[in-house]
A and B are shown apart, each in its own frame.
Chain A
Amino acid sequence: MQILINILIASSIFLLIANSYSLIYFTTKFFHIAHAAVISFGAYFVFFFANKFSIPFSVSVALAIATATLIGLACEVLVYSQMRKRNVPALAYLIASIGLYVVLQNCISLFFGDDTKIINTAEVTVGNQIFGAYITTIQIITVFVSIALFIAVNLFLHYTATGKSIRAVATNPELCNIYGISSNKIILIAFGIGSALAATAGILSAMDTNMTPTFGFNLLLYGVVAMIIGGVGSTRGLIAGALLVATAQHLAAYYIDTKWMDAVTYIILILFLIWKPLGFSGKRLKKVEV
């Protein structure tokens, strides 16, 4: 029972990250690795506001999400949009985002130090017992928040004008520009929402366990794996991907050893890239260039 609860918690975190990431990947079609730094920044800003300035916890969470979102937006405005203007090759985005990640992650290390940090919440978390398994309050919050945000984002994408424009830009940015939808503006919106979701995921995960400057990177990669497995732009695929990654990790931890969790995750990714490169959903990620 405990293992099922753990899988549920892990998959909801992965779902939240995959969701935030697919929003950006879906609209821009490149791997925004610096997203990992946004995840870490979210958590570290909560630590910064709540523990250093003793701002009330809920306020500092809001502030942290806002600041981390600004960092995500800054990446887009200062770097990626400039690159789009210059029409650089597709691979350059990925490499530039790795560079950005290195810069941002080292900024965190410089300001906060490399040691493990814990966000001190005022209330003492007591494990609640459900069906003979233990789950902390923050873990319950995590599950509900990530499911709620997932539903909200999908409703937003399908039933609002902005959401529809995001999907339109994802399909064909040039045509959107012709029809008067500014693709740059829409991409900026996607970056904003994606970064806010990522910061939320970072905060929840850091409150559940602890954080180091690089913890966002691992989380992001699990999210990316979930997204690739699920297939980009597919709602059910994301859920399936997150569940599969979390299940595989916990089964590996249970039957082999916790230290092989990472390796198992990537073996699944590579198997998927070979035999099912389009993910569960079967949607094409990349058009064949002729």
Chain B
Amino acid sequence: MEYILHLFILICFYTLLSQSLNLSAGFTGLISLAHAGFYGIGAYTTAILSTQFGFSFWLSIPLAMLISGAIAFIVSLIALRTVEDYFIICTLGIQVILFSIMNNWMDLTRGPLGIPGIPSISLFGFNLDSKISFLLLSLFFVAIIWFVLRNISKSGLGKTLTAISEDEIYSQSIGKNVYLSKTVSFTLSAMFAAIPGTLYAHYISYIDPTSFTLTESIFVLSIVIIGGLGNLTGSFLAAAFLVLLPEALRFVGMPDSIAANMRQIIYGLILVVVMMTGKNGVKEFFASKTKRVA
């Protein structure tokens, strides 16, 4: 039972991550490979603040979002000068730089040793150290972010972002500030990514840089793409699918060592197949299939 709750909590984390990436990748078309970096910034901010300065979770969450947003803003000033393929390569570079800062800046992050002893979250004097209470807290955040993102997508900003992803020059010609909207979208997306980061740090109570690698970024991007760009429900379903996939593989009797690789092979293959057909997400892929048959 504890283990199932753990899986649900992981699903919450990846839902938060993929939905926040969906804001920049899905709505705006800024496909970023630096998302795990911002996730890591969130985790490291709260880890350092809570272990060294005794900040509570509720205080470090806005601070983590601010720091992640500030770094994302600086990054976006640089990265948004490039387009399409080059933007992805640029964010890939930024991901590697962020990772190497986490891994090498010994004084601040303790490098590969990681930061242990991050306290659990307390709410009105209650310690949320049982799995079920943490799950409820994560669900609370998922609900808020989902609601916020849905409203953003329906707002004027969201419409502008969609317009940019469809035709950048046209949106500019009707007087939309493309550069500003892109910056806002990228920064907001990184700020939301800090939230699962702080939750993760307090949940596991120990963080090290290996949780925030390029592989993790690729994994989150795969969730977004498999779920469909701009489709928040899709991100949630894809996150649930990919988190539960290794368990399903284990269930059919595959040893642990193989199951981890098999999961990556499976999501890689889904990515290739979805992209090959030029469809947006698995949902559309199957929809078109049935249509063609009928």
Binding site for B on A (CB under 8 A): 30-31, 79, 82-83, 86-96, 98-103, 105-107, 109-110, 221, 224, 228, 257, 259-260, 262-263, 266-267, 269-270, 273-274, 277, 285-286, 289-290
Contacts and interface: CB of A to CB of B under 8 A. Distances in A.
Contacts of B103: 259
A30 B93 contact: no
Residue from B90, B92, B264, B272 having most chain A Cβ neighbours under 10 A? B272
Contacts of B100: 259-260, 262-263
Contacts of B31: 91, 95
Contacts of B270: 99
A138 B269 CA distance: 37
Given A82-B276, A102-B267, 12 more contacts: A31-B88, A92-B275, A92-B278, A95-B221, A98-B271, A102-B218, A103-B264, A259-B103, A266-B94, A269-B89, A286-B84, A290-B169
A106 B85 contact: no
B210 interface: no
Contact of A90 (B78, B85, B225, B271): B85
B278 A83 contact: yes
B209 to A, nearest CB: 12
Given A83-B276, A257-B104, A266-B96, A99 B269 contact: yes
Nearest to A256: B104
**Residue of A89, A269, A270 with highest tally of chain B CB at under 10 A:** A270
A290 B173 CA distance: 12
B271 A95 contact: yes
Given A259-B103, A274-B78, A266 B222 contact: no
B7 interface: no
Contacts of A96: 271-272, 275-276
A25 B265 CA distance: 25
12 contacts: A31-B89, A83-B278, A103-B265, A103-B268, A105-B264, A263-B101, A266-B93, A270-B78, A273-B86, A273-B90, A285-B86, A286-B83
Contacts of B271: 95-96, 98-99, 102
Contact of B265 (A102, A270, A290): A102
A224 B265 contact: no
Nearest to B271: A99
Contacts of A107: 265
B278 A102 contact: no
B290 interface: no
Most A C-beta atoms less than 10 A away, residue of B81, B222, B262, B276 = B276
Contacts of B52: none
B272 A269 contact: no
The 10 closest A-B pairs by CB, nearest first: A99-B271, A102-B268, A88-B278, A266-B93, A103-B268, A96-B275, A99-B272, A263-B100, A106-B261, A106-B264
B127 to A, nearest CB: 38
Q: Among A82, A96, A257, which residue has the most Cβ atoms of chain B within 10 A?
A: A96
A40 to B, nearest CB: 14
Interface in B128-156: none
B94 A88 contact: no
Contact of B104 (A93, A109, A228, A260): A260
Contacts of B78: 270, 274
Given A266-B93, A270-B93, A106 B265 contact: yes
A5 to B, nearest CB: 26
A270 B95 CA distance: 12
Contacts of B104: 257, 259-260, 263
B248 interface: no
Nearest to B269: A103
Nearest to A29: B85
Interface string B106-140: 00000000000000000000000000000000000
B97 interface: yes
B258 interface: yes
Nearest to A261: B100
B82 interface: yes
Contact of B97 (A102, A267, A273): A267
B267 A88 contact: no
B268 A99 contact: yes
B268 A100 contact: yes
Interface in B250-269: 258, 261-262, 264-265, 267-269
Most buried by A among B79, B221, B258, B268: B268
